Structure 1
Amino acid sequence: MPMNLIESLHAIVGPAGFVNLEDGEPYLTDWRGRYHGKAMAILKPANTEEVARVLKLCAAHGIAVVPQGGNTGLVAGATPSEAGDSVVVCLSRMANIREIDTANYTVTVDAGCTLARIQEVAASVDRLFPLSLASEGSCQIGGNIATNAGGTAVLRYGNMRALVLGIEVVLPDGRIWNGLRGLRKDNTGYDLKQLFIGAEGTLGIVTAAVLKLHASLRARACAWVAIESVSAAIALLEHCRSACGDGLTSFELISRSQLDVVYEQVPGTRDPLDGSSPWALLLELADSASDAPLQATLETVIGEALEAGLAVDAVLPASETQRNALWHLRHIVSEANVRCGTSVTHDISLPISKIPECLADTEARLLDAGLVDGARFLYVGHVGDGNIHSIVLFPHEVWSTVGDKDALISQIGKIVNDTAVSFGGSISAEHGIGRAHRDELVHYKSDVELDLMKAVKQALDPEGRMNPGKLL
């Protein structure tokens, strides 16, 4: 990049928004540490106008742009390539709460706001923003939008597409589309915001959003349930939905093998029960009415499940501290796995009825292929919406003996994804495609779907400068 162009970019964002490349490692490496890129420049603009000026300048010089939020993604969707021919645009300085409209149940925020801050702001006005992720303290809402994030409350509230009413986007040529409308009904043509939600920054940079709020939850009831099989989990889910209706907010499945890794790797964690069952469920009811009899309802449901043989044991926390401890076991799994070894993680989505058979078939195929010697099968997922994180964990000492690591990851991924698709599923439920799964997408999308996606990309980013090498 010519020095005068670097100077022009520096002038746009100022000293506070220009990251020296020698300090750039956090922006050039993905969260798991598998991908390491290079960049011509790393910029942290302070507002939408600066983003627009950066993109306009990059367009004039044919420079690629890699948008980045909290860099907590699991598919390297915000990591530049090793070519070093792009500019990273990180939105972390854009963290303003623009407006709270309590009557309209909306909050308008900059894309660099962390998810946790938005949750806190909503709570401060007696409202709820229900998106909940393990990385909520550091992930940014722009990245959540770009990846159509899911999390633990999709069962009740939907994923990011259901939580966004309007967005502001800087297009590849530097133009700003202000679509910050807090409307639940707007039947005036194509719903353009949906093009950018889940597009992983390949069509433009989301710089702000109008988010849908909900009534605060004043009553909760939580349970940790030991079960013998995934089939039992599906049956219990049906029972809970019938008995609890919309009060059922979360229904999380965790394998014993995954819990063992957590207990081994994370000090202070312990099994809420006796540790003998092969599977556990973490489920939660919630209501906006403080006097809702959720505890009694859940006790009845769990009692019926125990009597019917769907559950073998259960514990209901008696305090908020105990409830948080249970959720900590669920949210700490990724960190525990990183400490233990290298995870070949998959983010499949399935029809709920097909989950048990698909998981069993996948394990059998991997064992038959001889690809998982010394590895551990781990599972954690949002069973209520059909999203299972199927993980093959290689302990550090095993992974160090693997020769062609990329080939092994690819072979394992092909079996897991082929099996999921054969059961009517998808290879990505909430993590996205990014760089990690880009080459796989062509095997699972029809020619018609790919043609339509490419047509959208061509229309909005004809030069292919937005987040190149990702998604398509």
Structure 2
Amino acid sequence: MSSHAPQPILLDAVRLSGLLDRIAARIGAAHVRTDAHDLAPHLVEGRGLYQGTTPALVEPANTEEVAFVVAACAEAGVPVVPQGGNTGLVGGQVPFGALLLSLRRLNRVRDLDPVDLTVVAEAGCTLHQVQQAAEGAGCLFPLSIGSEGSCQIGGNLSTNAGGTAVLRYGNMRELCFGLEVVLPDGRIWNGLSRLRKDNTGYALKDLFIGAEGTLGIITAAVLRLFPAPRARATSMLGIPDPETALSLFRRLRNAAGDSLTGFEIMPDFGMEIVLKHMPGSVRPLAERHPWYVLAELTSTRPNDDLSQLALDTFEAAFEAGEIEDAVVGSSEAQCDALWKLREDLSDAQKFEGGSIKHDISVPVSKVPYFIAEATRLCEAHMPGLRVCAFGHMGDGNIHYNLSQPEGMDKAAYLATWEEFNRIVHDLVASLGGSISAEHGIGILKREELPMYKDKVALELMAAIKRAVDPRGLANPGKVLLD
């Protein structure tokens, strides 16, 4: 992998003991955990790339308790790492000697207004919880990612999560009107604005969205809702190559406009390992195809015949040679089953050995070239490599994952991570792309960032960090190099 874990922080035992006593007196001793068994699940991220350490896990119940904990830690000179659902993929949530602060008890939906189309949710609410609250009010919160049952809103904001509906609705940055944040010195910034227009200076919320807890701890947010869709058409299409997928994307976008909500691409290798390893998976088309597109149309108008619109568009695409076969879901259950084939792909890869993962974005028009050229370069570097390039083609975000050659030792394969980073990330940079589209920087890419980020941008980021967190106590060792 490209980035080594930070050196563990060594804390004074006497000072730490006094600090934990103060915190326990305020939030309750039951919510200050030091037992190794209790800490273990919070110290390793989902892919097992990093193993962290912490003297304690604290679980405040509200913003005021978070502020107390952070202020007490600042007074004692103890760094703090915030953690939500621990679903991050770049190690940003893993502590290395710092105090670990869980947001799980901040899990209230404080308010929901279907007229303003806003919901005020605390950072510990799961994404699914917010989706359900919106649905209960006849609205939609459109962020959708595979971990939505366990990931939390604070983490979604801290990584500027994207997901499958960015094409129509945008990332978390576009889905947030306002924030409440505890700063590294314990002060609370109340920026819970519901306004769509507020031109009174710097957009402070945008500093904290995507900052991965390095500038403060998000405790609540005003999130943007939308009218709930009342018509839906989900399709799986067999296609020859990503270049054809791009032509199909343009055709479908021109025909459907804003109704085109999702446009995902996955290779035959990805489809086959899902069918092989994930229980209940059913082949969606009669024959295998080199590539597949999953496209979804939605509308708030119940009388819109999106299935017919899709079929008419696909008929023209067949004539143009853009589609080899297609199926349109005829029920909600069938639509969900098609999506599950795509959503299960990341889990299916685990059964195929080591996987070197790249979360990149390039201009949409460059996606086919990127996939073809990256594949040529990577396969030349390691014969037998199995490329699994999939994801959000409609917004230019591709998860360019590389499964190890069959029979190769997993550890030996993962040791080549940096070699493949150079190949993939250099190509991404040459196309004006980004080495992190939606997962963030964390630990995994903090050594990569200076290689590809504009130097002035890095200087500005460092200056902001020094201004907001001069002692470096907020999630140290993440995003920026020390």
In the alignment, is residue 225 of structure 1 matched against residue 237 of structure 2?
yes
> SS of the residue aligned with 1:168?
strand
Verify the 8 A CA contact 1:17 1:46 in the aligned structure 2: no
Q: Report the Cα offset of residue 210 of structure 1.
A: 0.3
Q: Report the Cα offset of residue 321 of structure 1.
A: 1.1
Verify the 8 A CA contact 1:230 1:355 in the aligned structure 2: yes
In the alignment, is residue 64 of structure 1 matched against residue 79 of structure 2?
yes
**Equivalent residue number for residue 392 of structure 2:** 382
Q: Deviations over 1:149-202 (max 9, x none)?
A: 000000000110110000000000000000001000000000100000000110
Give the TM-score taking structure 2 as reference length. 0.94
Structure 2 CA distance for aligned equivalents of residues 48 and 200 of structure 1: 18
**Percent of pairs with identical residues:** 48
Alignment counterpart, residue 325 of structure 2, candidates 302, 313, 323: 313
Alignment counterpart, residue 49 of structure 2, candidates 29, 34, 51: 34
Verify the 8 A CA contact 1:374 1:398 in the aligned structure 2: no
Alignment counterpart, residue 155 of structure 1, candidates 142, 167, 173: 167
Verify the 8 A CA contact 2:56 2:100 in the aligned structure 1: yes
Letter in 2 for 1:308: A
Q: 5+ unaligned residues in a row in structure 1: which ranges?
A: none
- 1:399/1:207 CA distance change after superposition, 3 Å: farther
**Equivalent residue number for residue 336 of structure 1:** 348
Alignment counterpart, residue 265 of structure 2, candidates 253, 256, 264: 253
**Equivalent residue number for residue 421 of structure 1:** 429
**Equivalent residue number for residue 79 of structure 1:** 94
- 1:434/1:201 CA distance change after superposition, 3 Å: same
Letter in 1 for 2:31: G
> SS of the residue aligned with 2:448?
helix
**Equivalent residue number for residue 235 of structure 1:** 247
> SS of the residue aligned with 1:398?
coil
Return 416-425 or 334-343, whichever deviates more: 334-343
Letter in 2 for 1:12: R
Aligned residues: 465
In the alignment, is residue 450 of structure 1 matched against residue 435 of structure 2?
no
Structure 2 CA distance for aligned equivalents of residues 252 and 48 of structure 1: 38
Alignment counterpart, residue 476 of structure 2, candidates 457, 468, 471: 468
Verify the 8 A CA contact 2:231 2:304 in the aligned structure 1: yes
Structure 1 CA distance for aligned equivalents of residues 345 and 379 of structure 2: 24
Q: Report the Cα offset of residue 397 of structure 1.
A: 4.8
- 1:64/1:366 CA distance change after superposition, 3 Å: same
Verify the 8 A CA contact 1:258 1:378 in the aligned structure 2: yes
Alignment counterpart, residue 214 of structure 1, candidates 223, 226, 231: 226
Verify the 8 A CA contact 1:69 1:140 in the aligned structure 2: yes
**Equivalent residue number for residue 272 of structure 1:** 284
Question: What CA RMSD, in Å, does the superposition of the two structures yield over aligned residues?
Answer: 1.3
In the alignment, is residue 393 of structure 1 matched against residue 403 of structure 2?
yes
**Equivalent residue number for residue 141 of structure 2:** 129
Verify the 8 A CA contact 2:34 2:55 in the aligned structure 1: no
**Equivalent residue number for residue 6 of structure 1:** 20
Q: Report the Cα offset of residue 19 of structure 1.
A: 2.4
Q: Report the Cα offset of residue 304 of structure 1.
A: 1.1
Structure 1 CA distance for aligned equivalents of residues 407 and 123 of structure 2: 40
Verify the 8 A CA contact 2:242 2:291 in the aligned structure 1: yes
Verify the 8 A CA contact 2:371 2:389 in the aligned structure 1: no
Letter in 2 for 1:430: E
Verify the 8 A CA contact 2:234 2:328 in the aligned structure 1: yes
Return 331-340 or 234-243, whichever deviates more: 331-340
Letter in 1 for 2:55: M
Letter in 2 for 1:4: G
**Equivalent residue number for residue 94 of structure 1:** 106
Structure 2 CA distance for aligned equivalents of residues 295 and 347 of structure 1: 32
> SS of the residue aligned with 1:226?
strand
**Equivalent residue number for residue 112 of structure 1:** 124
**Equivalent residue number for residue 358 of structure 2:** 346
Structure 2 CA distance for aligned equivalents of residues 252 and 363 of structure 1: 19
Q: Deviations over 1:24-67 (max 9, x none)?
A: 11110011111100002111111101110111011011111111
Q: Report the Cα offset of residue 264 of structure 1.
A: 1.6
Q: Deviations over 1:254-306 (max 9, x none)?
A: 11111111112112212101342110000010011111121111110111111
Verify the 8 A CA contact 2:384 2:406 in the aligned structure 1: no
Q: Report the Cα offset of residue 7 of structure 1.
A: 1.6
Structure 2 CA distance for aligned equivalents of residues 394 and 274 of structure 1: 29
> SS of the residue aligned with 2:418?
helix
Structure 2 CA distance for aligned equivalents of residues 43 and 231 of structure 1: 50
Structure 2 CA distance for aligned equivalents of residues 312 and 16 of structure 1: 60
Verify the 8 A CA contact 2:404 2:410 in the aligned structure 1: no
